[in-house]
Structure 1
Amino acid sequence: MTEPRSILHNVQVLRFVAATVVLFGHVQHEAMELGYARPDTFGLLSAIDWGMGVDLFFIISGFIMYLIGKEEFGRRGAPGKFMSRRILRVVPLYWCFSLAMIAALALMPGRVTASMSSPEHIIASFFFLPWPNASGELLPVLALGWTLNFEMLFYAVFALALRFERKTGIAILFGAFAALILLGALVPATVWPLHFWGSAIIIEFLLGIGLAMLYADGWRLPMPTRAALVGLAVALTIAFGFSAMAHVTPDRAPFETPSRLIRNGLPCLLLAAGMILGSQPARIGRIGRIGQLLRLGGDASYSLYLSHPFSINVFAILWRWTHINDPWAFVISASLFAMGAAIAVYYALEKPILLLLRQQRPRRQVDAAVATP
């Protein structure tokens, strides 16, 4: 068994962690929106930016893209093959849930908070282009798809880099991102594509690439060091949460937040390094039942990310029938419901697409774990 195959287990666990972190933040928000909780009900947990799961996804994405592409630099046809695989991996499921959101907006306009501003906004949403909605926000019809707008940018630039020899390609990739960030800082907000894509958050893809380079060069850390990195990641997350409670980090928008690279990106990088830069289980059977469940959660993480807004809303309707107002009961039950629904979506919809994708390429075990949020 090759090493890229064995690395999947820990990466899959990270994907599950990333999706669950985003889910937990959204469930807390829904509990407050429905009146089950107050802003101070969850204490420090309310101050933590649970959107950091997206930052972890971006780091994982950079890591995996380099790992599966490092031998493809300079090869004829590599950019086209890379983009076609990424499109097949990301687009079908995203389009399904975008269509579902449009249907929800048409059938339940009072229940759904998303908005569409124009036909151009809808078209841009389906083609991963930032476009202002009715509220002027650069969010697609399926609002959480803003992260995929960044993912597609990364894939496009990475595909361009594949046209060159590895060192040159990576230099072009880093240079292109540096230019985007510079332009994003210089142009006015009205030039929204550059203002959006020039966010400092794109550096997290590069952090993942750097982590992959270390791994490919044979960097392995002993277990105590890895545990210390994970512990430090948790400690920093808590510390930044306390800072947010003290209003030291006031801006929490998903983009236009340079501080996010430190507040979220640094703990996520430490967590990813602690999980990845060490020995990996050679077979899934060696990591036990809990490990298998975590691996399944990682497999279904993309389904969980896309489906959980729908699942939470369905669960909220059902929860009213119980007449239970305990906020923690709602948060835990809604989270479990969303996870179960995501596994159902994975087996009913996402996995068949992945099986079709795997038939078209030999390195299927690696690509199956592509880190899409």
Structure 2
Amino acid sequence: MKRTLLRAAEPGRSPEPPIARRSIDSIQWARGIAALGVFLFHLDMSITEKFGRTWCSGWFFGGATGVEFFFILSGFIILHTHLQDIGRPDRFSSFVTKRFIRLYPIYWLCVLPLGLALLAGAGANGHRDLTVVQFVMDLLLIPREGVRVLQPAWTLQHELVFYIAFSAMIFHARLGLLALVLWQVACLATLIFDLIPVGYQNMQPLARFLGHENFGFAIGMLVAWIYRKYGHGQAMLFRLIGAAGAVGVGVALWLRGASGVVILPNAAAEALLFFALYAMVMIGLLTVRVAGPSRVGASLGLLGSASYVLYLIHEPIISASIKLAQSPILAGRAMGLVVGLVILLVGISASIAVHKLIEQPLLVLLRNAAFGRRPASGMAAQPS
């Protein structure tokens, strides 16, 4: 892998076009399914809390692992699309601009109204205090203690840390790679010596920099390296690996969700398990080529394109919808199921609408303003 990264930094070396700019539809579909899984997980939890019974017998509790898939996907996409930027300091500003446009504008559109409402005193149950300083830190995705304005932003803070680590390789390939390795070693040491508590959405700012979640980025980069080096001649092997990973994911999700079995002793061990399984699945998906257009493929592709919006707005939609559903009439599992289905449809529809009407035109506008042209279609133009 080191040799691949350093070779990419050689002056005058041309990119590898068949891989670098190909649209990988299967990965786009998986992105949408992962975002939907996270949505269903939070929806199941909220319906269970409201109605006192599990919404769908706990089948969607495993949807939370979609976050692990997103970490791997991000590492894959960043190396896959920015390999030629490594060792090219002149491309640093372009990298930062692309990442800023992809990450911040639509996030701000989602977090601004929520933050302003909280500053005005519209906190959940009247006790969610927010200061102006905290709001500004959340807008900038600066890690802080306490509850964030938009809860899913904790993963975006990890993302930002990864961008900073990767950008070091743009300035200097060898030293940047060394810095990236040392960062991962620091994350490993933090985990081994239990330097910060392990738990879902650890609120400590240090967890964003040294948490076990950051291993997902390195694993995603490893998948990208394997794909670039062996992707042309190992399709059958890749599919077998992907199938084994899919079976493993299915069994692990069943154990984690419907059966209620504790797979591994803590969140870090479980995350590492799903990192490995999802990496295997991704390796298999990279060999899938779509024969032609289909309704299912188009729908999953659209959901994948809208996945960032869905990830950002699903919790506020769930919260607002549950409050609207507060009624003595809505009692029992049957009504809980109906309410859950309505929220699911509203969330997906709203995400697609925001993507088509706001996010997509906004990205085109900002990219045209920044680069004077629309970026090439395919993976490079998709969110990470």
Name the residue aligned to 2:50.
34
Match of 1:118 among 111, 127, 131: 131
Shift of 1:260: 3.3
Q: Aligned partner of 2:105: which letter?
A: P
C-alpha contact 2:308 2:383 (8 A) present in aligned 1:
no
C-alpha contact 2:255 2:261 (8 A) present in aligned 1:
no
Name the residue aligned to 1:21.
37
Match of 1:346 among 338, 355, 364: 355
Paired with 2:319 and 2:258, the residues of 1 have a C-alpha distance of 30
Match of 2:313 among 307, 314, 334: 307
SS at 1:280 equivalent? coil
Q: Aligned partner of 2:270: which letter?
A: R
Q: Deviations over 1:144-174 (max 9, x none)?
A: 1001000000011111121123x65434312
C-alpha contact 1:300 1:346 (8 A) present in aligned 2:
yes
Range with greater deviation from structure 2 (202-211 or 87-96): 87-96
TM-score by length of 1: 0.83
- Identify unmatched segments of 5+ residues in structure 2: 1-16
1:273 partnered with 2:283? yes
| Cα gap change, 1:306 to 1:73, in 2 (>3 Å) | same
Number of equivalences: 352
Paired with 2:245 and 2:264, the residues of 1 have a C-alpha distance of 23
Name the residue aligned to 1:368.
381
Name the residue aligned to 2:5.
none
SS at 1:142 equivalent? coil
1:182 partnered with 2:176? no
C-alpha contact 1:237 1:267 (8 A) present in aligned 2:
no
Q: Deviations over 1:266-317 (max 9, x none)?
A: 33223222212x14337xxx13111011111111101111111222234335
| Cα gap change, 1:15 to 1:191, in 2 (>3 Å) | closer
| Cα gap change, 1:181 to 1:250, in 2 (>3 Å) | closer
Q: Aligned partner of 1:38: which letter?
A: R
SS at 1:311 equivalent? helix
Shift of 1:320: 5.7
Paired with 2:20 and 2:290, the residues of 1 have a C-alpha distance of 12
1:81 partnered with 2:90? no
Paired with 2:328 and 2:289, the residues of 1 have a C-alpha distance of 44
SS at 1:128 equivalent? coil
Shift of 1:354: 1.4
1:199 partnered with 2:211? yes
Match of 2:57 among 35, 39, 43: 43
Q: Deviations over 1:334-359 (max 9, x none)?
A: 11210000011112221122112442
Q: Aligned partner of 2:110: which letter?
A: F
| Cα gap change, 1:15 to 1:247, in 2 (>3 Å) | closer
Paired with 1:81 and 1:25, the residues of 2 have a C-alpha distance of 36
| Cα gap change, 1:242 to 1:248, in 2 (>3 Å) | farther
Shift of 1:5: 3.9
Match of 1:232 among 234, 248, 254: 248
1:129 partnered with 2:137? no
1:6 partnered with 2:22? yes
| Cα gap change, 1:235 to 1:111, in 2 (>3 Å) | same
Paired with 2:137 and 2:326, the residues of 1 have a C-alpha distance of 36
Paired with 2:278 and 2:36, the residues of 1 have a C-alpha distance of 14
| Cα gap change, 1:32 to 1:92, in 2 (>3 Å) | same
